[in-house]
Structure 1
Amino acid sequence: MTSFPSVVISGSGLWTPPYSITNEELVNVLNENADRFNHANADAIERGEVAPMAKSDAAFIEKASGIRERYVYEKDGILDINRMRPNIPARAENEMSQQAEMAVAAARAALDDANRNATDIDAVIVSCAYTQRAYPAIAIEVQEALGIEGFGFDMLVACSAATFALQRAYEMVRSGTARSVLVINPELVTPQLNYADRDSHFIFGDVATAMVVENEDQVAAKQYFRVLDTKAVTKYSNNIRSNFGHLSRAADIDAFAPANLFHQEGRKVFKEVCPMAAEHMSSQLAALDIDNQTVKRWWLHQANINMNILIAKKLLGRTATEEEAPIVLDRFGNTASAGSIIAFTLYHKDFANGDIGVICSFGAGYSIGSLVIECVQG
């Protein structure tokens, strides 16, 4: 009978940009832009031919999302009324890409946390909402920068990119394809936003996270988390979309017109994804004969505080405490796939031997991914 090794998460790392933007700052530029538009189109608006551009305020953003501020890779371009998008200059081909630079920083933090060197890693997975180019893979660039032998590849699964990549890493270690896998989520997502759109301009922030996944027999960390189970599901939906891509050139369209940037049907997403995510985790735990009430912590995707409150209530039958379902989106914004990994990285050191936690993502696709993990004190 085949015996499979136990697979663990032995380290995690987080990199944040040096800049942050508050709701107030975003609202100021959005409202100034709305005033300009409405003034320039006053006659057409009065005739009913053009809809006025809506204004906003910081209180609306916080109530709707729970977000107060977010880290950004570049700030000045976003807040420039004549630009309203990040200003990230292109780099020469012999320079490290911005996304690889972010990834390397998070990876080094994760390696330190796992008490590992780059030479201990066999594979690199870069998994995120976007990569800044098609090829060569960002993962292979990171592999080269860190001096890792083996192989690397990129994955794109929007908000579930991290959990889906962790599942791939789990399978690779369990099958013996690799001893240790570095999973990195360099989420450079602020360029996708339409900063003139009241409903979405505040949503995203930039960040990079990383985790080391390896065979339990070789762990060097003093605290690590045994993966008890992984689960993933997808269901096609148009309710969260980003349409720009290389075929835009062949279609003779403006690749970055508002309709091709990030947009969503927020109410539909809330109504459909919340019960899906709660049922997904509950059924996974039931199959493991684990009672939801015994889970110490739920590291949930960080898109919207109201979604997390509702999902946790469905899981527990009551409102979760801050310790049970920590929120980081108030200061990070929606960081796509990295959100649940940020929550884990910041809130796991208090776990004791045998404590159970769940990492779960949910979002565009739709896609939902989760891992049930158990703390081990080495």
Structure 2
Amino acid sequence: MHRVAITGTGIYTPDEVISNAELVASYNEYAHRQNALHAEAIAAGEREPLPMSSEEFIVKASGIERRHVVNKYGILDPGIMHPVLPERAEEELSIMAEIAVRAADEAMRRAGLTAGDIDCVICAASNHERAYPAIAIEVQQALGIAGFAFDMNVACSSATFGIQLAADMIRCGSARAVLMVNPEITSGHQEWRDRDCHFIFGDVCTAVVLQRLDEVQAGNAYEVLSTRCVTEFSNNIRNNNGFLRRTREGHMVDRRDMQFHQEGRKVFKQVVPIVVDLIQGHLAAEGLAADDLTRLWLHQANKNMNDLIGQRVLGREPTREEQPNVLQEYANTSSAGSIIAFSTYSDDLPAGSLGIICSFGAGYSAGSVIVRKR
């Protein structure tokens, strides 16, 4: 069995940024228009008025201050309230593949590898812009990589599940080096017209290169010591859009359940113990204690949730250095969030440092990866 290391990471960040102030102004204008349009029904008690949003509400609920997006004007236009992207011909590189290539180039450069060194490409993301052909195969072709490629989706846990799969392939010898990409255009499944979630998501793409430890060239590498994944079915985070939509009467109209929707309080209450149990059980199985960890790179969905997870795992309040957050800048970028945190806050640790990458979300699903700095 071969030992495995993460040797390169990459991040593609869209140029366009939406602040909380801009988002609140756009949503509140939309809410005012809808409430005026339905004023009679609201007065008669037949319809609830849309509530207003505020910057204070967003920061208190999530810790998010801004987000990057691939298209800003469509989201902020109260008459549109979703990104507007030009259609691309089938012969053109798709937008998901395009941003994946950008992140992959950086990850391979940092790993000291070329396309010829990669055996497999995994596109692990919470949404894919089409059913087939696989985005991963398109990325493979664009980069000139031989071997094989495939897509996978475990919602916000896609990256850690992808790391486990890549590590298993390398350990057993079916690949020497694997490129995993996480193109997350979450603005497309976000419901920007819903006060309770209109601030949650942002767009980004991350990439990770994993390879055999005995072939590592990069100076900043982390050995993957162990991985663990868990799933438990729940409807509390759901998106009903899919290829069977047109087969059901009334499903082609603008329906709320065809975008991201969740029972936020239930998710918080139920997911936190799942994640804490996963991390604690994973550490115990490897003969490790929480005090052995130098850093936790958690899924970047909600600061309050991360704070509570850190407290329960460490038995105390984690410091910013021990548990860095990037969601204030990026918002929830689904599977990419923990990888942004790892990529941004991993170079500074000394050799021998132990850390854990952990992501969690819809499914429910959660994955953890214990790593050690070389």
Q: Does structure 2 conserve the Cα–Cα contact (< 8 Å) formed by 1:299 and 1:357?
A: yes
Alignment partner, residue 67 of structure 1 = 64
- Give the counterpart of 1:216 among 180, 196, 213: 213
Take 2:26 and 2:364, find their aligned partners in 1: how far apart are those partners? 32
Is 1:344 matched with 2:342?
Answer: yes
Aligned match of 1:204? 201
Alignment of 1:47-196 (within 5 A): 47-196=44-193
1:267 counterpart (265, 268, 275): 265
Matched with 2:361 is 363
- Please state how far the C-alpha of 1:254 moved relative to its aligned partner: 2.5
Give the equivalent residue in structure 2 for 1:297: 295
The SS at the match of 2:156 is helix
The secondary structure found in structure 1 opposite 2:218 is: coil
Change in CA separation of 1:256 and 1:5 when aligned onto 2, cut-off 3 Å: farther
**Corresponding residue for 1:26?**
23
C-alpha separation in 1, matches of 2:269 and 2:41: 36
Paired residues of 1:138 and 1:154 also in contact (CA < 8 A)? yes
Q: 1-side partners of 2:40 and 2:305: how far apart?
A: 41
Corresponding position of 2:282: 284
Rounded to whole Å, the distance in 1 between the matches of 2:44 and 2:346 is 58
Per-residue CA distance 1:129-158 (angstroms, 9 max, x = gap): 011001110000000000000000000110
Deviations 1:291-333 (A, max 9, x none): 1012000000000000000000001111100000001000100
- Post-superposition Cα deviations, 1:9-34, rounded to whole Å, max 9, x if no partner, equal 01111110010101111111111111
Distance 2:14 2:305 in 1: 26
TM-align CA RMSD: 0.8
Q: CA deviation at 1:270?
A: 0.5
Q: What is the rounded CA distance, in whole Å, between the counterparts of 1:223 and 1:52 in structure 2? A: 53
1:314 to 312, 326, 335: 312
Deviation by residue 1:314-356 (Cα, 9 ceiling, x = unmatched): 0111110000000100010000000000000000011111100
**Do the aligned partners of 1:244 and 1:255 also contact (CA within 8 Å) in 2?**
no
Cα offset, 1:255, TM superposition? 5.9
Amino acid at match of 1:202: F
Q: Verify: 1:239 aligned to 2:236, yes or no.
A: yes
Q: Deviations over 1:59-94 (max 9, x none)?
A: 100100000000001101001111110001110011
The TM-score normalised by the length of structure 2 is 0.99
Amino acid at match of 2:362: A
Unaligned runs of 5+ in 1: none
Looking at structure 2, the residues matched to 71 and 189 of structure 1 have their Cα atoms a distance apart, in angstroms, of: 10
Q: Quote the Cα distance in structure 2 between the aligned partners of 1:286 and 1:109.
A: 35
Q: Is the CA contact (8 Å cut-off) linking 1:86 and 1:190 kept in structure 2?
A: yes
Q: What does 1:1-16 correspond to in 2, within 5 Å?
A: 4-16=1-13
2:21 match: secondary structure: helix
Structure 2 counterpart SS, 1:50: coil
Give the conservation status (yes or no) of the 8 Å contact 1:249–1:255. Answer: no
Residue of structure 2 in register with 1:335 after alignment: 333
- Secondary structure in 2 aligned to 1:303? coil
Look up the match of 1:227. Answer: 224
Gaps of 5+ in 2: none
Query: What is the letter of the counterpart of residue 225 of structure 1?
Result: Y
What letter is aligned with 1:49?
E
Aligned-partner SS, 1:369: strand
Q: Tell me by how many angstroms 1:163 deviates.
A: 0.4
**Aligned-residue offset at 1:38:** 1.0
**Alpha-carbon distance between aligned partners in 1 of 2:59 and 2:118, rounded to the nearest angstrom:** 41
SS in 2 for 1:209: strand
Answer whether contact 1:113 1:221 (CA < 8 A) is retained: yes
CA deviation profile, 1:161-215 (whole Å, cap 9, x unmatched): 0000111100100010000000110001101111110001110000000010110
Whether the aligned pair in 2 keeps the contact of 1:119 and 1:148 (CA below 8 Å) is yes
Aligned residues: 373
Separation (CA, whole Å) in 1 of partners of 2:72 and 2:166: 34
